A and B are shown apart, each in its own frame.
Chain A
Amino acid sequence: DAGVIQSPRHEVTEMGQEVTLRCKPISGHNSLFWYRQTMMRGLELLIYFNNNVPIDDSGMPEDRFSAKMPNASFSTLKIQPSEPRDSAVYFCASSLIDRGGGTDTQYFGPGTRLTVL
């Protein structure tokens, strides 16, 4: 079975350019999460969606970041304009909401390593 798919795996861009990261969640999952990982701050949740609707975007660093989920099988995280401090590994994760009120297992993609020069 295919896991979470992210593209590109690596992205190198120049400051000021627009960057779009893509994610395909596991088929049948109804929650999708975007995380950012850096040495200084560790793994941080940026935003998550339930049934394609953004639920909590309080982790999005600033207005330069935006995320969309137009359908159940695709999401994008866009940075415009990009800055060197955005350099990090960005992970997408998906899960199936636990109707019993428990904590769902989140399955992570392989990540996109972004370098902004």
Chain B
Amino acid sequence: GQQLNQSPQSMFIQEGEDVSMNCTSSSIFNTWLWYKQDPGEGPVLLIALYKAGELTSNGRLTAQFGITRKDSFLNISASIPSDVGIYFCAGPIIQGAQKLVFGQGTRLTINP
């Protein structure tokens, strides 16, 4: 089945640093979603991408839909302690489908 591979699996950074993570697939995706999961909570949607090449921002977060439609990137600028958590990429199994497949997540830890 379709799989999403995220890297890195974990990151340890200093407060104020910028963060970059990515998600790749062997299959084409027509929608890319980025979720964040805080400790003890469920995932929350951060950014949704719908077109190849699309670059979308949400505050200090910026995500890009790769041109090949097989990858996506998430950047966080000037990290702060509340950015700690697990970041997941996700996408529908088929275009427009409700059934999502999730990556294994990138765990972000920030040293104050």
A: residues with CB less than 8 A from B are 4, 31, 33, 42-45, 48, 50, 55-56, 91, 93, 95, 97-98, 101-111
From residue A34, how far is it (CB to closest CB) to chain B in Å? 12
Report if A103-B97 is in contact (Cβ < 8 Å); known contacts: A108-B42, A110-B42, A111-B42: yes
Q: Give Cα A56 to B100, complex, Å.
A: 12
Question: Which residues on the B side are within 8 Å of A105 (C-beta)?
Answer: 45, 48
- What 3 pairs between A and B have smallest CB-CB spacing? A108-B42, A43-B102, A101-B96
Classify chain B: how many residues form its interface, as a range. Answer: 20 to 34
Q: Give Cα A42 to B43, complex, Å.
A: 12
Question: Which residues on the A side are within 8 Å of B33 (C-beta)?
Answer: 103
Q: Is there a chain A Cβ closer than 8 Å to B11's Cβ?
A: no
Output the nearest chain B residue to A113 by Cβ-Cβ distance.
Answer: B40
Most interface-central of B31, B33, B100 (chain A CB within 10 A): B100
- Inter-chain contact B98/A108, CB cutoff 8 Å: no
Q: Is there a chain A Cβ closer than 8 Å to B109's Cβ?
A: no
- Inter-chain contact A103/B98, CB cutoff 8 Å: yes
